[in-house]
Structure 1
């Protein structure tokens, strides 16, 4: 029998079923399954990462609408749990309890993991859109007096997740409308600008303080912010840059590059406008 006649069409059903089951386990947010604890969830996440990176059938599986729906449902479930856990922090009698912090950090860890797999499935836009939508609520809770001197690890983790969203939009991997892009940046830029010197100060006062924005994180966020600023409409750029220059702490992020480009573009636009008006005037005179 010729070899070509023995080749059978690839049956994607088995691969799809394994992947869908793994996604449901990986995005579960309820109680752990005794006696396995979180081991099943971690194993499911590792299985998904392996399949996305190594399984040759995955491009076809990822194109399946049911698979995308299951992933989106899982993402929505994680976001919902995260919002509930975050909101509950201000109701905690002991905000510094290990349990409260562990629970919310577990949710943030799930969000970070989703950030690592969604780009491979071309679904990062779903994450960024949701993150932009809840950013105001997140920052409102973080501004509560109960959290003023607590949950530093959570604050750094949320900046890291926001950095992923800013990178996705700033570098054009996720396309959002200008108002949403501006909203995302205007929400997180002041917070990042405020937190960086606070974290640095605490690290200086106490060398054992473990929570900080390391150099790689700072550089990646700064680069994403600059790219995002330069892609906004001119009026939004002007608002953000004016606020940056008026702030007490302007060393981070350094938006000098964005400011220089904005100035150049503004001057060029004014020059082109003036030239256009002169041409109109000359045309009018010649017609007369």
Structure 2
């Protein structure tokens, strides 16, 4: 528990390596392999400690979000240059792995869903010339991918309004972000590019399709119409969602016509 608190605390850069090591060891102790995991996933004391650490981490992250959101662009640039946001996102991305192993993802996912509009606004407000902007967006994408997966697979129950918000906020964000990771980044040595694993992009695409198909038909139609008009129509590929919506709409119209004909027959 002490290691967990250390691994999720705000610490000076000088001990960052120690913190990363603590995170690696915690993840290892919760991993099921040929040997039994050192920590049992149903230990209530550990679960309570994890819940409290996540709550504290998200509270501090939220304070930083709000400070950036309402500051002038000059102050935002200074905050960005001091690299205050990225350590939080790195810790949140790591804690997602712990929460997934312990089936506790709901303690982070509900916050992330509610804070999504502010997270996107802050990320877009960051100085585009900052060297760590891609790293920040990378971590945001990683966390969002894990949150969307938790909703798609039913580990987190999100009401219709929350699912609609997720799509409306994160779909355009991912469309704008992907081209940034497909062009050379001159800030890196030898012109190397910061890449995101192809599996993450494919997972996000699949998650968007799955979530869109759970929404009311009118919402689906609006999302798909905006997608078809977008300059980023190549990603994500929502063809499967479009085909399913067309099929369902045609079948629904046919059934309504049939019920209408039966109703008219009874009336006569």
- Residue 45 of structure 1 corresponds to which residue in structure 2? 23
Q: C-alpha distance in 2, partners of 1:149/1:172?
A: 39
Kept in 2, the 8 Å contact 1:222–1:254? The answer is: yes
Please tell me whether the aligned partners of residues 30 and 39 of structure 2 are also in contact (alpha carbons under 8 angstroms): no
Residue 141 (structure 1) aligned with residue 92 (structure 2): no
Structure of greater Rg: 1
Structure 1 residue 57: Cα displacement = 6.5
Task: Name the residue aligned to 1:112.
Answer: 93
Identify the residue that residue 283 of structure 1 maps to in structure 2.
Answer: 266
Alignment gaps of 5+ in structure 2: none
Matched, 1:218 2:201: yes
What SS does structure 1 have at the residue aligned with 2:262?
A: helix
Q: Say whether 1:195 aligns with 2:173.
A: no
Q: Which residue pairs with 1:12 in the alignment?
A: none
Provide the rounded CA distance (Å) in 1 between the counterparts of 2:110 and 2:24: 25
Once the two structures are superposed, the pairs formed by residues 79-158 of structure 1 within 5 Å of their partners are 79-86=58-65, 90=73, 91-92=75-76, 94=78, 97=81, 100-101=82-83, 103-144=84-125, 146-150=126-130, 151-158=133-140
Give the secondary structure class of the aligned counterpart of 2:29.
Answer: helix
**What's the CA shift string for 1:246-279, capped at 9, x where partnerless?**
2122101111111111111111111111112222
Q: Give distance in 2, aligned partners of 1:251 and 1:203.
A: 22
1:145-201 deviation per Cα after TM superposition (whole angstroms, max 9, x unaligned)? x52343122112211211111122123332211111111121111111112124324
Residue 232 of structure 1 aligns to a residue in which SS? Answer: coil
| Aligned twin of 1:25 | 6
Measured in 1, the distance between the counterparts of 2:96 and 2:66 equals 22
Following superposition of structure 1 onto structure 2, how do residues 261-280 of structure 1 map, counting pairs within 5 Å? 261-280=244-263
The Cα shift of 1:81 comes to 2.8
Q: Identify unmatched segments of 5+ residues in structure 1.
A: 1-19
Structure 1-normalised TM-score?
Answer: 0.78
Could you tell me which residue of structure 2 aligns to residue 68 of structure 1? 47
Q: Spell out the pairing of 1:182-261 with structure 2 (5 A cutoff).
A: 182-202=164-184, 208-261=191-244
Aligned-partner Cα distance in 1 for 2:192–2:78? 21
TM-fit CA distance, 1:96: 6.4
Cα deviation 1:84-125 (Å, max 9, x = unaligned)? 44555652554663xx23x42221111111111112222111
Please state whether the residue corresponding to 1:58 is helix, strand or coil.
coil
Aligned 8 A contact 2:145 2:204 in 1: yes
What do you get for the CA RMSD once the two structures are aligned? Answer: 2.7
Aligned position for 1:77: 56
Q: 1:148 to 1:229 in 2, by over 3 A?
A: same
- The TM-score with structure 2 as length reference comes to 0.83
